[in-house]
């Protein structure tokens, strides 16, 4: 089965790997992000998801492409914003920015794409292990990722009877530029993160792409949270 993948954040990391995986399997791919996607054949629409008015600029470009969809559409919300902050000092602007990119933009894109989706289509949210737990120093991100799971569960309930399924795939520590930047490109910290996983290594983006592919093709997991983290050690 092939179809149309609409994805955010496919310029790098998990998003890029996912775009490549779907494209390699014969799917047409549309990416929405600020930076372009270098995967061959991907249609890129420039979108600043941190701006609440982004649908006004992108919607007119996206709609004709959606009108051409012939069959299944998979919508993958992969764009994310990870800030360093804590509850003592997180600003209203930082919290609003995190919610906009991680949650509100996904809701806005749902409203653009859902009218074009038919039975067999899917909406996949790329969450985080921090969607159901917390660590210090990431208050806005933890809050947003918890909210993202709530949006996924609402998606499941509100689309009942449509034949469209949804799930939230929650990666663990993944070898991406976002993670490396968050830890200041400190290899000792990356090694310590890998040591906190039962498999003793970081996840590769391609592994997450395969998991998202599975979720997109598995309506039996409708409404589910899938933790894909190589088995994090509980301490």
What's 108's domain CATH number? Answer: 3.40.50.720
| Domain-located, residue 185 | no
| Domain-located, residue 221 | yes
pLDDT band at 1, cuts 50/70/90? low
The residue range of the domain holding 211 is 4-172+204-228
| Domain-located, residue 87 | yes
User: What number is the average pLDDT over the span 72-99?
Assistant: 97
| Domain-located, residue 187 | no
Q: What is the pTM of this model?
A: 0.94
pLDDT digits (tens, 9 = 90+) for 91-121: 999 999 999 999 999 999 999 999 999 999 9
Instruction: Domain count for the chain, please give it.
Output: 1
Contacts of 223 (CB under 8 A, 6+ apart): 152, 153, 156, 157, 166, 167
């Amino acid at each position: 089965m092939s179809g149309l993948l609409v994805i955010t954040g496919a310029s790098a990391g998990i998003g890029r790997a996912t775009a490549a995986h779907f494209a390699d399997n014969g799917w047409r791919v549309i990416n929405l992000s600020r930076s372009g996607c270098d995967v061959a054949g991907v249609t890129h629409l420039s979108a600043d998801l941190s701006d609440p008015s982004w649908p006004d600029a992108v919607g007119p470009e996206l709609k004709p492409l959606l009108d051409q969809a012939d069959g299944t559409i998979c919508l993958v919300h992969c764009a994310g914003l990870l800030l360093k902050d804590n509850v003592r000092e997180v600003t209203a602007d930082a919290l609003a920015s995190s919610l906009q990119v991680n949650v509100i933009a996904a809701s806005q894109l749902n409203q653009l794409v859902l009218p074009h989706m038919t039975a067999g289509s899917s909406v996949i949210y790329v969450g985080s292990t921090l969607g159901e737990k917390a660590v210090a120093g990431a208050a806005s991100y933890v809050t947003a990722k918890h909210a993202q799971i709530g949006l996924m569960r609402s998606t499941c309930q509100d689309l009942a009877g449509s034949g469209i399924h949804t799930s939230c795939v929650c990666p663990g520590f993944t070898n991406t530029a976002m993670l490396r930047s968050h830890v200041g490109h400190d290899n000792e910290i990356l090694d310590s993160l890998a040591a906190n996983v039962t498999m003793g290594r970081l996840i590769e983006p391609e592994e997450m792409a395969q998991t998202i592919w599975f979720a997109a093709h598995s309506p039996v997991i409708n409404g589910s949270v899938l933790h894909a983290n190589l088995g994090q050690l509980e301490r």
